Chain A
Amino acid sequence: MAEIKCVELCKTYRQGDAIIKALDHVSLDIEQGAFICLSGPSGSGKTTLLNMIGGLDALDSGEISIDGQRVDLLEKGALADLRLHHIGFVFQSYNLIPVLSARENVEFVMQVQGVPAAERRRKSMAILEEVGLKDMEGRRPSQLSGGQQQRVAVARAIVSQPKLVLADEPTANLDSVSAKHLMELFVELNQNHRVTFLISTHDERVMRYAQRLVRMRDGKVVSDEIQISD
């Protein structure tokens, strides 16, 4: 469960002489147990917004709080703890540690958390089965396809049931069967375990699952609508 409040977030990047407003006064309230899709053209600021909520980068201005705690005021160590214990990440491009096997990658976060080995093994095997990679547990990322790597990353993000999952294009490399399966897994976690999901995507198939669809353009929120699921 996580309730997130974003107030007037601003972030600019400098690229040569150009100043890019990656986030331009973005305000967003995410209720506990929400299942939200973030869509918008490339460069609209989706990844930037997810990174800010996860405390991976510093804001220029604005406030972010998760369950009443001001993320933008936390120092590095506390942010690391917040991510470790409460947030599951699926990154857009670079997700897995190359020297670890699929199962070890899934176990990595639990390992940092200090979860005992037997429990880690049990949980990671169960989740790998969920994402259809049971037989690939021993493979290194370089021996997995892009879609398989993506699923390992998803497995890692949800295995210890964080209260918030920030997923950046989780279905980008997946075929429609795998994508559907993954979304059903997300929905199940959302409904039965009240995990809050914030998913950025270009994928129409993903947007269909969202209760709420937020569209961005040029660092601004341009629409925010509740979807009635069919």
Chain B
Amino acid sequence: MATGHGLSLTAVSQLSWRNLWRNQRRTIIMLLAIAVGVWAMIFMTALMRGMVDQMIEDGIDALPGYVQLHHPDYRDDPNVENSLPPPGPELLVALGSPPVEAWARRVKVPAMASSERNNRAVMLLGVDPQPEIAVGFDPSSIVAGRFLEGPNDPGLVVGRKLLERLETDLGKRIVIMSQGPNNSIADRGFRIVGVFEGKLSAQEENLVYAAIGTTQELLGMGEQISEIAVKGGDYRDASALYAWVEQAAGGQYEVLPWTKLDTYLGLMLGVMDGFVLVWVVVIFMALSFGLVNTLMMAVFERVREFGLMQALGMKPASILYQVLLEALMLLTLGLLLGNVMAVASIMPLRDGIDLSIVAEGIEMMGASSTLYPALKPKDLVMANTVVIVLGILTSLLPAWRASRYRPVEAIAKT
């Protein structure tokens, strides 16, 4: 790289490197500042990602599925009338092959649950237990009794909170009342066979699980269902699954991905990337003051040297490179240290951070009480890129200053 116009890259790097260590204390302080900043960027991002991922995943499990099919009017009026026939042969074939991994038929209607003491408005879910688990129901959330055992199980599974509200207990009977077709009233007594604990307290209070066959019979709706929930692939990009199901469904169904079914959840996923960028840039801003200050000091201290180099025939551009390279070395070392610190502090937390002390508040926001930090390569890349790119931009000013000194002024005896 030697040219007649400037120092070779190796020679400039050598100068930069030695100058970097000239004021060791200052360099080490700045390195630590960068490292801590980068650590904060990556560590906090991983925590936020972990929290949001979990909120989204829990939210999707509660929907459930990444894509759902409904009668076009169902979402406005979740009524028995707005139900679907069971999937036809073409749709069945589509649901049986990739990208679909699991699907479930469900009946979902508003109902009234009454014990001998109390009654509550609930959402009655008629589910087929095996597929329901496959699309999102967590069997380990059953804290007493059992989950439903087949499409015609006569039992009922209710949330822990609802049990308290109704002042009833496992093994006792409650009455579920809803509206059948043609405004008929349908009701039936169920024995409570299981109690579940929901990730969200609203689920515990509102959801009542019955077997799908039993529910269809109660409501007198034959083989009709309220919705089909479909799961498959990566929830972050449900577009392929959506397209596949949509095409097979034909026009009679309303097919929607989870991002549209729960727009708040969908928004969170989209907003997160921007949020990470803002966070990273904000930390960098704080760092940049220190960086500019350090470099400016390093430049002012060396005014005479820069003048001397120019007097000897070095081009101002080489001086600019020299200072930029020095900044780049500082940034790279700081980044290296910061990345190592971040990874080293996240790794031991892979099994989750127990937040149960503050869990009450967090649960209300829709997050669960164990936080799994999510270290994503793209977040690492973003943090490192921002620091390098903005760092170099920030260093341009001191570097430019360094290259602007007039040789005579610089070397004039003091």
Contacts and interface: CB of A to CB of B under 8 A. Distances in A.
A99 B15 contact: yes
Interface string B1-41: 01111111001000100110010000000000000000000
Contact of A109 (B312, B412, B413, B414): B312
B411 A111 contact: no
A56 B15 contact: no
B406 A89 contact: no
A11 to B, nearest CB: 11
Given A56-B408, A114-B3, A83 B312 contact: yes
Interface stretch (B64-72, B155-163, B301-309): B301-309
Interface in A63-91: 76-77, 80-85, 89, 91
A81 B313 contact: yes
B221 to A, nearest CB: 85
A112 interface: yes
Contact of B305 (A89, A97, A109): A97
A100 B15 CA distance: 8
A83 B314 CA distance: 9
B314 A112 contact: yes
B311 A112 contact: no
A89 B312 contact: yes
A84 B313 contact: yes
A112 B7 contact: yes
B313 A83 contact: yes
Contacts of B308: 91, 94-97
Contact of B313 (A92, A96, A112): A112
Interface string A149-170: 0000000100000000000000
A77 B407 contact: no
A109 B318 CA distance: 13
B188 interface: no
A103 B107 CA distance: 87
A149 to B, nearest CB: 12
A54 interface: yes
A83 B311 contact: yes
Considering residues B5, B308, B313, which has the most beta carbons from chain A within 10 angstroms of its beta carbon? B313
A92 B312 contact: no
Nearest to B16: A99
Considering residues B3, B312, B411, which has the most beta carbons from chain A within 10 angstroms of its beta carbon? B312
Interface in B376-414: 406-408, 411-414
10 contacts: A56-B407, A56-B408, A57-B408, A94-B307, A98-B305, A99-B18, A108-B312, A112-B313, A112-B318, A113-B313
What are the 3 A-B residue pairs with the smallest beta carbon separation, nearest first? A84-B313, A99-B18, A93-B413
